[in-house]
Amino acid sequence: MEILSKLPATPGKIIAVHVAFESRAAQRGRRPKQPSYFMKATSSLADSGQVVRPAGCELLAFEGEIALIIGREGKNIPLDQAWDYVTAVTASNDLGIYDYRAQDKGSNTRSKSRDGYTPVGPELIDAREVAPDQLRIRTWVNGELAQEGTTSEEDLIFPLPQFVADLSQHMTLYPGDIILTGTPAGSTVVQPGDVMEIEVDGNGQSSGKLRTEVVEGPGDFDESVGMLPKVDDKQREDAYGSREAAGLSDGLSESLKAKLEATPTAGLSAQLRSRGLNQVVIEGVYPQTPGTKMVGVAKTLRFVPGREDLFKSHGGGYNTQKRAFDALKPGEVLVIEARQEPGSGTLGDVLAIRAKDLGAAGIVTDGGVRDYAAVQEVGLPVFTQGAHPAVLGRKHVPWDMDLPIACGNATVVPGDVIVGDDDGVIVIPRDIVEEVVDAAIKKEHQDEWVAERVAEGNPVGGLFPPTGEWKQQWEEYLKQNPVPDYGSSRAE
């Protein structure tokens, strides 16, 4: 490998910074207060050349980064001396497969440490010839500029020497060690045939262009020894940089919606509880029409306690309540915080008609509904505490929308997934909805089998859940009767 001949020593470790550029932090919606890191295997090191996207994977993403090459051994290095321990800088590509990101749970071991997933080079820039705050990184994909950032105070959250000083507090840095210093906004998914070129320059010096071409290769993943790659809309959003870039709407894919519609809230609630989430039930609300199933994405509206002067300024005209209903999109569920106060209507038939016409998936209110029978006739799923004839101003003032609210003692954030049936309504965080519903479907499949055995007259001991001989019988049944397949979860 040509790059190894240019380094002061064979790298003992490659350390990568999670988020370092202001533009990347803005894109992700979170700005770190201190640097955080992950390790990459030294066997992932590569020169310019080809990188393999394994068959069965779809989310290979690039990240153009400035690589710092450590030139001498250091431990507990003072910040003002840290740059003296850097012998060179160059270009790097922190490649990763987001298909394995969720399974890695933050370690990035499988997603970013595959062979060839850390191309570096081609030339080294002497660190003595450049200032740490005067470098530039650029990435091109198929000849078009995709990323650009500098190491100035305006672009970087942390100065480059800080990474050296910080890491040396926890481990000895040795000659040849490589620190990848984060990527600016613009990282996205690449496909077989795409070519990435990355260059670092400063003070008239250049790393040259690090060139990497994506090729398709075999998957060779064996489920008997480890997890298989798997993607969901959350990983697609992160890999592409945004929901829009990933081609995702604000709604749910048809296959994911089908899964949720087929799964009772009781099963989903049990899976949320197993993940430590207990406060996910919107208490005290039930469907106007028994047998109703509702699935959608949360849009929120908040009422504050009634006060005459505030109702004069906020209750009349084109108020927040009316704006929230007019702003509904197909597939959204309007969730209304009414302080669990049933003594006033929070919507009536006109607003229900408007929501139905806009394609809303339903309405949830922990208050009352006026025009109750007329609202029911509209045919829109509505979950409420019940009927009340009083108009809005009796108990509530419509105040704001599209923000986290408390409905029925549950926090609801815009974008959460809302599911309702005869048992009530639950709230599922968007980033875990697919794993929750998949697990719930699997458990429901088992429970149906158990119910059949109990109906045959068998005791529940050792059967619910299956253990011992019952477990063997279940596993044999599962081979012949696999978990129902609702299709791919890819956004449609």
Please state at what angle helix 433-455 crosses helix 265-274, rounded to 10 degrees. Answer: 120
Q: Give me the helix-helix angle, 254-262 and 433-455, nearest 10°.
A: 30
Close Cβ partners of 48 (under 8 Å, ≥ 6 residues apart): 119, 121, 122, 210, 211, 212
Please give the structure tokens belonging to residue 375: 């609202």
| DSSP-assigned letters across all residues of 251-284 | S--HHHHHHHHHS-HHHHHHHHHHTT----EETT
Q: How far is CA 288 from CA 103, 368, 374, in A?
A: 40, 11, 11
**Cα 270 to Cα 265: distance, rounded to the nearest angstrom:** 8
Q: Was 243 annotated as part of a binding site?
A: no
Residue 351 is labelled as binding a ligand: yes
- Residue 369 bridge partners (DSSP): 387
- Comparing CA positions, the residue from 65, 12, 89, 107 lying closest to residue 212 is 65
Ligand-binding site membership of 193 (annotated): no
Check residue 82 and report its DSSP letter.
G
**286: helix, strand or coil:** strand
Under 8 Å between Cβ of 363 and 352: yes
The C-alpha atoms of residue 127 and residue 205 are separated, in whole angstroms, by 10
215 labeled part of a ligand binding site? no
Q: Which residues are annotated as a binding site?
A: 348-351, 370-371
Residues placed in the known binding site for substrate? 348-351, 370
Binding residues for Mg(2+), by number, are 371
